[in-house]
Amino acid sequence: MAIDLKLVRLRKEFAGHDGGAPVVAVDDVDLAIEKGAMVTLLGPSGCGKTTLLRMIAGFEEPTSGEVWFGQRRVDRLAPNARDTAMVFQSYAIFPHLNVYENVAFGLRMQRMDKATAKRRVDEVLDLVGLTAMAHRAPSQLSGGQQQRVALARCIVLEPHVLLFDEPLSNLDAKLREQMRVEIRELQQRLGITSVYVTHDQTEAMALSDVVVVMNSGRIEQVAHPAEIYARPANRFVADFIGRANFLGGAVVDARTVEVAGRRLALSAETPIAAHTTVTLVARPEAIDLSPAGDDVGDGLPGSITRAMFLGDHAEYLVAVPGVGDVLVVRSNPSQTGMLEPGSAVVVNPGPLHALPPGV
């Protein structure tokens, strides 16, 4: 597939407070995005994801580096000359214009003739299900409807790149899930290259073809959601995406590690040399937990220090001698029953992922 959006050593420094050292918000980021892909920038607050997005839109001037839309270099262009369309966190709907006028705003700026513009706006309003609301004022709309206006206002332009700045963070949980599905379906149907900023990993997983995990202005990993989850590139990614137990161990061979004297299997072959000390990632829900005494093979013995019932699942903290505290999640506890704190158990971590040393 052709590369549609390319960032080359993109960097943004903000002036430090009181003449102090400049703060690096985005630190020489390289990224290439294929045409039609939905890419999320995921990271904790302050990681530079929003600054990166705003540089693509043109609201922030890069300190250095390049932004390319296809064959066109855009980093020196004003925001209104870039052919991007952005869905803002606060929606940024023009409060003095009604729904139709909001959606038509961009086309009017292009001086498109009224008839064509009307046809396009009507089509898009139909697409997002707002035809009946065309002449309402924004203040008469619910949060979800305002969200749809913001989205319609962008896709009606058929922009080169569609940008999303945490667009769902102001919605309640139910609506958020619903809008997530709608955005994904629309984006796939229209095939517009999209960049989506969020700090919500579930949203990132649900939406994207590619997840870009960012931290302190740098990209930590770029991969498909499943890949990010199963094979995090480093400790930060493993910790930030989902929950993780970190176990210390040593590589035995490409498929085996030794943890607290027991040999355990790896989820995939590791290139790391034998005898190297490594950190291993064990996802809490992948760990098998059984009462001691059952036939459990190579499991690690331990005892439960904390048990919490959480409805659809239960969380246990298990003290494992030689390893430390291990978090275990078991689903459907109302059917399988709870284990009591203090009881002796055997922990079987399942396939482990070895983090490359030194990260």
Partner 1 sequence: MRRSLQEVRLLARDPVLLVLVVVIMASLLVFVVYPLVLVLLQAFRTPDGFGLDNFELIAQRRLYRNALRNSLVVGAVVGVCSVVLGYIAAYVMTRTDAPLKRLFHNLTILPIVSPPFAGAISILFLFGFNGIITRHLLGLDNFSIYGFGGVVASQIFTFTPIAYLSLRGVLAGINPTLEDAALNVGASRSQVFWRVVFPLSLPGVASAFLVVLIESMADFGNPLVLAGAAFPMLAPQAYLEITGSFNLARGAMLAAVLLVPSVTAFAIQRYYINKRQYVTVTGKPTASTSKSVSPAAKWALFAVVALFGLIVIAFYGVILLGASTAVWGFDYSVTLRHFRYVFEVGWDTVKDTVIVAVLSTPISGVLGMLIAFLVVRRRFPGKGGMEFMSILNFAVPGTVAGIGYILAFNGPPLILTGTLAILVLNFVFRYVPVGIQSGIAVLRQIDPSIEEAAQNLGADGITTFRKVTLPLIAPAFFSGLVFGFVRAMTAISAAIFLVSANWNLMTVQILNQVGSGRLGVAAAFSVVLLLIVLAAIGIISLIVGRRAEAASTVRFG
For residues 165 and 87, the answer to whether their CB atoms sit within 8 Å is yes
User: CA nearest 221: which of 206, 240, 202?
Assistant: 240
Q: Which is nearer to partner 1, 162 or 304 (CB)?
A: 162
Residue 296 contacts partner 1 per CB under 8 A: no
Could you tell me the smallest distance in angstroms from the CB atom of residue 105 to partner 1? 5
Which is nearer to partner 1, 90 or 336 (by Cβ)? 90
Window 98-117: residues binding partner 1 (CB under 8 A) = 105-106, 109-110
Tell whether residue 59 is a contact of partner 1 (CB under 8 A): yes
128 vs 154 by CB, closer to partner 1 = 154
Q: Does 21 participate in binding partner 1 (rule CB under 8 A)?
A: no
| Least distance to partner 1, CB of residue 187, Å | 18
3-state secondary structure 41-92: EECCCCCCHHHHHHHHHCCCCCCEEEEEECCEECCCCCHHHCCEEEECCCCC
Nearer residue to partner 1 within complex by CB, 138 or 242: 138
Q: Hey, what are 179's tokens?
A: 């809008």
Among residues 77, 134, 327, 338, the one that binds partner 1 under rule CB under 8 A: 77
Structure token digits, residue 63: 């300190």
Residue 12 in contact with partner 1, rule: CB under 8 A: no
State which of residues 61, 185, 253, 258 lies at the interface with partner 1 (CB under 8 A).
61
Site for partner 1 (CB under 8 A): how many residues?
A: 31
The residue within the footprint of partner 1, chosen from 88, 169, 182, 315 (CB under 8 A), is 88
Q: At what angle do helices 143-155 and 114-127 cross, to 10 degrees?
A: 130
Smallest distance from partner 1 to CB 110, Å: 6
**Identity of the residue, 197 or 241, whose beta carbon is nearer to partner 1 in the bound complex:** 197
Q: Of these, 3, 8, 92, 317, which contacts partner 1 (CB under 8 A)?
A: 92
Q: What are phi and psi of 126, to 5 degrees?
A: -65, -40
**Burial annotation 265-298 (CB, 10 A radius, 16+ → b, else e):** ebbeebebeeeeebbbbbbbebbebeeeeeebee
Q: How far apart are CA 357 and CA 359, in angstroms?
A: 6
Minimum gap (Å) between residue 74 Cβ and partner 1: 12
The position carrying tokens 């607050």 is 45
Among 84, 147, 267, 348, the residue binding partner 1 under the rule CB under 8 A is 84
In the numeric block, the tokens 């989205």 are attached to 151
Binding-site member from 5, 86, 133, 307 for partner 1 (CB under 8 A): 86
Of 1-9, 58-66, 261-269, 310-318: span binding partner 1 (CB under 8 A):
58-66
Radius of gyration of the chain from its Cα atoms, rounded to whole angstroms = 25
C-alpha closest to that of 101 among 123, 118, 115: 118
Distance CA 214, CA 196 (A): 13
Binding site for partner 1 (CB under 8 A): 15, 57-59, 61, 77-81, 84-86, 88-90, 92-96, 105-106, 109-110, 137-139, 153-154, 157
